[in-house]
Amino acid sequence: MGDRVEVLLDPVVVAVSLLAVYRLTRLLVADKITERPRMALADAASGRLAYFVTCPWCVSVWVAAAWVALVLLAPSVALVAGVVLAASAAAGLLSSWE
């Protein structure tokens, strides 16, 4: 397990992971494409649970935990998905500077 944990400290893995977690979090809490299921979940929930599904800080903790698990358990899948998500995050962030 030691070698796997060391992978998490690789600077490229860290950079890709940061952007991937950002993109996944945004997808879940803010993007139009997930609005209907997000609002249905928020409507079905009450109080703090409803807040949880729309709070980027709250959701990002769970997304990051799942991402770390994916990197440790299926690094090839994480690499491919991470590069796609990181590229999408970078494109979105760069387009806001236009």
Q: What is the pLDDT of residues 39-56, one digit of tens each?
A: 888 888 877 778 888 899
Residue 63 belongs to a domain: yes
> Average pLDDT, stretch 27-33?
94
Residue 14 belongs to a domain: yes
Query: Which tokens is 4 given?
Result: 């796997």
Do 68 and 13 form a contact (C-beta atoms < 8 A)? no
CA 6-8-12 angle, to 5 degrees, is 110
| pLDDT, the chain, mean | 91
22: containing domain: 2-29+56-93
Residue 20 belongs to a domain: yes
pLDDT of amino acid 1: 58
Residue 44 belongs to a domain: no
Q: What is the pTM of this model?
A: 0.89
